[in-house]
Structures are given as C-alpha cells and as structure tokens.
Structure 1
Amino acid sequence: MTDSRLSGVVRALGRTAGTALPRSVVALLRRERDGLRAIASLVRGRKDVPAGATAIPCGSAQKTFLVVMMVLGPVELVLVDLLVPWPWLRVVLLVLAVYSTVWMLAFYAGVHTRPHYVDDDRLVVRLGHLVSVSVDVGSVRAVRRENHDRYTGAEYRGLVTVTDDFVAVPGMSGTTVTVVLEPATPVTVQGRGTVRVAGIRFDADALDAAVTAIGERVREGGEQCRES
C-alpha cells in the first residue's frame, strides 16, 4: 500500500471514529496520536516550526522533570518486582509503568519539537502536542516580561487557563511573558475553539529573546501595513 493510500485510510478511520465515539474519547486518541508523531519527530531531529518563522524555546523545566521521572521508571519496576507478591498485579503495574514512560517520552518530545513560534501572520504558543494557542500578530499591542507565579497568586488551572481577560499557558511555575492584545481579540485555543480576550500569558526559556522576536514581527507587520 502506498503512503498516499495509507494516509487516506488513516483519515477515513479518523472520520469514522469521530462519528462513532464520544468526543472526549476522540480527543484522547488524537492526543495519543500526536504524542507518537512527536516521538517520531524527535527521533528524526525535526522541529514543527514553519519555514520563515522564529522559534521561541520553552519548557526546559518540564523537560528536566520528565527526564528525571523517566530515569526513575526502571527503579520503580525493580521495586514492584521485589515488593509485590501477586504475579497478576505485577503484570498490571508493568503495563501501567510502560504506558506512563511512553506518555512522558511523548510529552518530552512534544515540548522539544513544538516550541512557541512567531511569523509574519501569527503568534503560536504551545505546550508540546497538548496545547496550542494562536493569535494574529496584527492584534498585538505590546509584549513584555511579566511574572505571574501560579503558586503565589495567579489562578492557573491545568495546562491552559482561559478567563474573560486572558489565555494563559503556564510553565512549571507560572508565566513569564505577557502579550497585550486589542480588546476582545479572537484567539484560537486548541480544543476550545475561538475565545475573545485582551492578552496571552506564557512561559519561555529566553525571555529577552522571546520579547524581541515578537516585537520585531509586530513592527514589521506595522511597517508593511503603512507601505500598503
């Protein structure tokens, strides 16, 4: 079977699953699929960033945590084998341990291969393959370094937080970059459709470089508008 036919079969199966399964199950399966794709991209050394876009590295804290957890995985398996007397339970725990290790590897791969990026059209903020938030660069009014610690005030819940005022994609400790938008700007949030907010908050590894990259694209867009 050729690659094009195989891709057609996969898309057909996806459409069938989308109509036959509950929406939450379909979303979970898509995340698992995207995780496997991220692992494949990691193995191939590829980054999911469009040509001409500026990548904004992120997730160093998450990656460090995931590496530690994956290293501890074999130790947990040894302890399970030594401490759990029931063979059936050892098998169950082994399967769960293998699945969790693959999930963590997929998360690591997603964070590594899918950084934030900005191009002439859009700013895209991501957390691996699990979260994607995008907005038109022309709607950006300002960008600045600004800390919002999730443990001392910022009410961030889960991987992405949507309020009446902003969308936040926090890192391990919170957010460090704030993008100010035009009031009621449409922002596309993966899994939630379009919301209207006045700002986006996210975390980045190199804060000054992130602010500079976004600011340059905004200025370039403004100059192009004036020229046209």
Structure 2
Amino acid sequence: MKRAVRGLIAHEMRAPGSLGRWVAGRRHGVREGDHAAPYTGPQTAMMYGLLFVAVVETVALAVLIPWPLVHGIVLVLDAYTVLMVLALHAGCVTRPHVVGADGSLRIRYGALFDLRIAGATIAAVRVERRYPDGGLIRFDPADDGILDLVVGSQTTVRVELTAPVTFVRPLGRRGRARVIRFHADEPEALVRAFARARGHLPWRGDRTPAPPLP
C-alpha cells in the first residue's frame, strides 16, 4: 500500500515537468543518435475527449451549483482532473520509447512505466500486431513470462530476451518477464532502428522487407 501511494505521489510530482517539456517541444531521455518511437496514436482522440468532457462538466457545474463553498471545491477538483489528464498525455508524448544507439531499448508509458533493457539481453525483435483485452499492463507469470504494455487495446512490437528482466508496475508491484509486447505507432521504423544499432540482431517484420544491415 505504501509503495502504491509513493508511486502515485511520484507520478503527480512529475506532472509539471511533463507539461513543461510538452510546451517546449522537448523529449525526456532521448540522446543524440537514439531513435525515439512515439506510441500515443491510438489514445490521442480518447485523451482529448476526456478533456472536453471535463471542461464541459466544469462549466456546467459552475452554473448549476449555487453555494460558493461547494462551487469552489468542485472547481478545484475539476481543474485538477483537467491538469492530470493533460499531464498524462504530455508524459506519454515527451517520454517515447527509445532505441539506444548502443542497441539498448527503453520501453515507457509516460511517467507511469519505464523499463530499460540492455542490448546484450535482447535476443530478437519483430513487428507483431495483437489486440489484447484489459488495461495498460497484462502479465501472468505462468504465461511464459510475457508482459503486455497495451495502448489503445493493441501492441505492435514483440521483444524476446535471453534472460528475464525485472519490471515495476505503476503502483509499485514487481515482476519478471522474458517477452515484452508493446505498442509503437511506427513499429517497422523501431525494428529498423534496432537493425541499424545491432547489425547481428535478427530482424523479422510482418509484410515489411528486412532492411540492409550495415
């Protein structure tokens, strides 16, 4: 419980930084020579829809609630909701997945999930389009250690590892996965970036020719 509370507090403390980077057009953790892979495509419309509903609710309640104290409390709560939705989306935009120039991989979902994988641990990577049910993270230790990081009810990239890696869920629980499936808006470009960074890495794509290795 304490770990979950700490995770939520840490996320909220990162919110202003995410909004600031979004406004400034900067990205977090992307160095020169790295490949940044966005993943917000499937959720952008939903995020802006939530923002629209929150703003409409704020305006409606401002008109309907006659009591100043209640009106003030509701206004603060609604403004906080709008800020958090914006911060969540800003975090996802400014914290893309990263293919390192050294062949490493950083898989993220805003400030809620961050998994770094050393290049030496990666056995294979390929484009694999799946549409799993459920929320952001799906993990069953009995299911061959497969971790799904789902965005918009889909994953598009599969990474197979030589040994399990430890990941931390948004509320602090830990697990160990040997296969990670996640979404990238342009999965073929991400896989090509791996091929360029790690010339000996197997490249497998769905209906996309393998690029020449350097």
What's the TM-score once normalised by structure 1's chain length?
A: 0.75
State the distance in 1 between where 2:139 and 2:132 align: 14
Does the 8 A contact of 2:95 with 2:108 survive in 1? yes
Q: Does 1:136 align with 2:115?
A: no
AA in 1 matched with 2:75: L
AA in 1 matched with 2:89: Y
- Please state which structure has a larger fraction of its residues in helix: 1
The corresponding residue for 1:218 is 198
Q: CA deviation at 1:220?
A: 6.0
State the distance in 2 between where 1:170 and 1:207 align: 14
The corresponding residue for 1:4 is none
The corresponding residue for 2:53 is 72
Structure-to-structure mapping, 1:13-162, within 5 angstroms: 22-48=2-28, 49-119=30-100, 120-151=102-133, 156-157=134-135, 159-162=136-139
In structure 1, list runs of 5 or more residues that go unmatched: 1-20, 223-228
State the distance in 1 between where 2:181 and 2:121 align: 15
Deviation per CA, 1:160-196: give whole Å up to 9, x if none.
Answer: 33332122211011211111222x3224436658743
Q: CA deviation at 1:100?
A: 0.6
State the distance in 2 between where 1:122 and 1:69 align: 35
Deviation per CA, 1:123-176: give whole Å up to 9, x if none.
Answer: 11111111112211222222222222123xxxx44x333332122211011211
Q: CA deviation at 1:23?
A: 3.4
The corresponding residue for 2:151 is 171
State how many pairs are aligned. Answer: 196
In structure 2, list runs of 5 or more residues that go unmatched: 203-214
AA in 2 matched with 1:212: R
- In terms of Rg, which structure is larger? 1
Does the 8 A contact of 1:169 with 1:202 survive in 2? yes
The corresponding residue for 2:209 is none
